[in-house]
Amino acid sequence: MQLEGKHIVVTGGASGIGRALARRFAVEGARGVVVADLDASGCASVAEEVGGLAVPTDVADGDAVKALVAKAEDAYGPVDLFCANAGISVPGGVEAPDEDWDRIWKINVMSHVYAARAVLPGMLERGEGYLMTTASAAGLLNQIGSAPYGVTKHAAVGLAEWLAITYGDRGIKVSVLCPQAVRTAMTDAGSAVGDAGGGAAAADGMLEPEECAEAVVKGLAAESFLILPHPEVVTYMQRKAGDYDRWVSGMQRFQQKLGFVGEIP
């Protein structure tokens, strides 16, 4: 996909990767960039900067995502690319409270379901459209320190795969962005994620959001399913698929090296 002249929606657009994407899409000549985020002032600021439209949105609410798409279409016409970028992390394992599991499931998984429901009918009718999901390398390799994050990112990758398989022959393109550590609030050691985001994930270096956006532009141009800003992830995936038991043992050793000890449920 060439981004010039395209109508693009970015959720989680008030900061981090989402803000970098919105800025880069504007530079690439998108005809309309819609910035959605729960942070109303943040998405308004980014939208003003890129000359786009701010739509404060709770992506955990299916009706809100449907309304987001309706407002975007009223402003710029059919959505060409929907970047389901919003996501959160919470620390802990199976002992994490039910409310944390429910919240992260709605934001990291169901928000992508809601986005697909909202834009697929129009895209299928037109015979073209693009969905991009921001997942994580954790969705391919798991996440030391946060079971809810690793599990939900796996689910997000699985949904993206299903969409690509199911609708690829009807003109729908799908990409899934799977970086390791990117310098955002989520990987801030002072955040709720803390070292779970910045420790294991940062083993191969911390990227800036703008570097991630550059990888996205290249990945969309090539219409690649997997967009991997950290190229090392390919090698890790190959090792995992080649010898699962050896890979699990290696991850156990890596966990010990990081000093992480799981809580007793």
The residues annotated with a catalytic role in the active site are 149
CA atoms within 13 A on the CB side of 50: 33
* Residue 37 host element (H or E): strand 32-37
Among 133, 257, 122, CA closest to 203: 257
148-155: which pairs have CB atoms within 8 A and are 24 or more residues apart?
148/89, 148/90, 148/92, 148/96, 148/100, 148/101, 148/104, 148/105, 149/89, 149/90, 149/104, 149/108, 149/193, 149/196, 152/104, 152/105, 152/108, 152/109, 153/87, 153/108, 155/105, 155/108, 155/109
List the alpha helices (DSSP H) in 168-199: 195-198
Give SS3 for 58. Answer: coil
β-sheet bridge partners, residue 105: none
For the chain, the maximum distance between any two Cα atoms, rounded to a whole number of angstroms, is: 53
